[in-house]
Amino acid sequence: MKKTELAIGDSTELEISYSSRAAMTQETKHVEVSSNDTTSGYNRLEITADVKSKPDTLLLLKYSPYTIEFIEEKGGAIKEKKVEFKNSGEKEYKLKIIDYPKELFEVKLSQDILKPGKVLELKVKPLKKLSPDTLKNSVTLQVKGKKEFRITIPIKKEKPPEKSPPPIKWDWRK
């Protein structure tokens, strides 16, 4: 959280991260927010996730990769990343991007409707140089098919590996 005090009409963001472990049924976590507002009482913010194994064999909407991983190239350049969605079912899917970090990325779908047997792309382009620290974010999509559900794709940029010191050269003939 960026601020602990808000003037009248002011707002702040509270980022909540969730780390999944083994595949399971739906998991719910919550945090409690308190302040000097005595009228609101107990403020509970809740997140839910449906943790799935990789690959998600039960889903007819296949996608790859499961995680968008940015790697910094020489000179600090970071290329756009793509996630490919394929409809392996018999009914069409309608996809909509509903959540992503707007200040960091531009996220676009090549099309909204995915007909059976067809493929579409989700493109994720960094808007600025990503922090050298480990970045953990995600893109959430609302999918409408036979049923309505959501898919969240993690975005990460790992800290580049530290250069190991050069090996010590020893010429035994000296």
Partner 1 sequence: MRIKGLFLAATLVFISCSISQAGIPKIEFSERTWDFGRVPQNCTVSHIFWIKNVGTDTLKEISVKTP
Residues that bind partner 1 (CB under 8 A): 1, 3-23, 30-37, 39-40, 43-54, 56, 59, 66-67, 99, 101, 136-138, 140-141, 143, 149-152, 154, 156
Nearer CB in complex with partner 1: 9/165: 9
Instruction: Determine if residue 103 is left, alpha or beta; phi over 0 gives left, psi from -120 to 50 gives alpha, anything else beta.
Output: alpha
* HSE value, Cβ hemisphere, 13 Å, CA-based, for 130: 27
> What's the min distance (Å) between Cβ of 19 and partner 1?
5
Nearer CB in complex with partner 1: 59/119: 59
**Contact at 8 Å (CB) between 156 and 136?**
yes
> What's the min distance (Å) between Cβ of 117 and partner 1?
21
> What's the min distance (Å) between Cβ of 157 and partner 1?
12
Residue 125 phi, psi dihedral angles, 5° rounding: -120, 125
Nearer CB in complex with partner 1: 5/90: 5
**Contact at 8 Å (CB) between 18 and 49?**
yes
